Amino acid sequence: MSRIYLGIIGCLAAVGCDGSAGGTNVKLAAADGTVTYKGGPLAGATVTFIPANGPLAMATTDLSGKFTLSSGAMPGCAVGEAKVSVSVAGPADSASNVSSNAKPGGMTAEQIAEQQKKMAEATKSFQAKADAAPAKSLIPQKYDNPQTSGLSYTIKPDGDNHFKIELQD
């Protein structure tokens, strides 16, 4: 993820606030799509398009795996060829071992205080584990890097920029 943020900063510095690179205006075109993995939609993935000329465009997939690209605060992606990366991190450890013994309604003040104490302890434990181990990717790591992902697309100025990104193992 730090590579992505460094790339964003570098592109913003090169492009500047007015959307131009080296005095040349960059044309943005609307672009969207869907990301699937193992035949199903991939929710919560960060999709990054890195155009040959212009600022990078990013989006996060929704529960249906759909995304709509934006270049900074502006909607769309720079026209032309773009390399693509897709990343999604899962928790370093599952919080599924935290059980809830909460009784629906009718809890006493003591029971509520005990539940709050258990939740605080579980939160601290989860945070300690997350800090100790980096999050593991839910998809093959090759997709995290535009150089190794094997994904590239062409953004057309007035064309059909709907992309179906199907990730494989």
- My answer on whether 48 and 71 are in the same domain is yes
Spatial contact of 131 and 92, defined as CB atoms under 8 Å apart: no
Q: How confident is the model at residue 61 (pLDDT cuts 50, 70, 90)?
A: very high
Q: Which residue segment(s) compose the domain that 120 sits in?
A: 96-134
The SS3 assignment for 23 reads coil
CB 128 within 8 A of CB 115: no
Question: Which two three-digit tokens encode residue 128?
Answer: 């300690």
Q: In sequence order, which residues have a C-beta less than 8 Å from that of residue 19 and are 6 or more positions away?
A: 25, 26, 28, 55, 71, 74
**Which helix (H) or strand (E) is 67 found in, with range?**
strand 66-68
Same domain flag for 72 and 19 = yes
- 31 and 86 part of one domain: yes
Instruction: Name the CA radius of gyration of the chain, rounded.
Output: 21
Q: Check pLDDT > 90 for residue 16.
A: no
pTM of the model: 0.63
Higher pLDDT, 117 or 2: 117
**Torsion-angle region of 106 (φ positive above 0: left; ψ -120 to 50: alpha; else: beta):** left
Q: What total number of domains does the chain contain?
A: 2
46 and 81 both lie in a single domain: yes
Q: Is the pLDDT of residue 139 over 70?
A: yes
Query: Are 44 and 75 in the same domain?
Result: yes
* Same-domain status, 61 and 22: yes
Q: Are residues 6 and 82 in the same domain?
A: yes
Torsion of CA 102, 107, 113, 119, to 10 degrees: 10
> Do 46 and 103 belong to one domain?
no
Is 136 a residue whose pLDDT tops 50? yes
CATH number at residue 61: 2.60.40.1120
First to last CA, the chain: 21
User: Rounded to the nearest 5 degrees, what angle is found at the Cα of 43, between the Cα atoms of 30 and 132?
Assistant: 120
Same domain, 62 and 121: no
Residues 81 and 42 in one domain: yes
Q: For residue 127, what pLDDT band results from cuts at 50, 70 and 90?
A: low
Tell me the pLDDT tens digit for each residue of 66-117: 999 999 999 999 999 999 999 997 654 344 443 444 444 567 778 777 777 7
54 and 119 belong to one structural domain: no
Q: Are 82 and 153 in contact (CB under 8 A)?
A: yes
Question: Do both 32 and 112 map to the same domain?
Answer: no
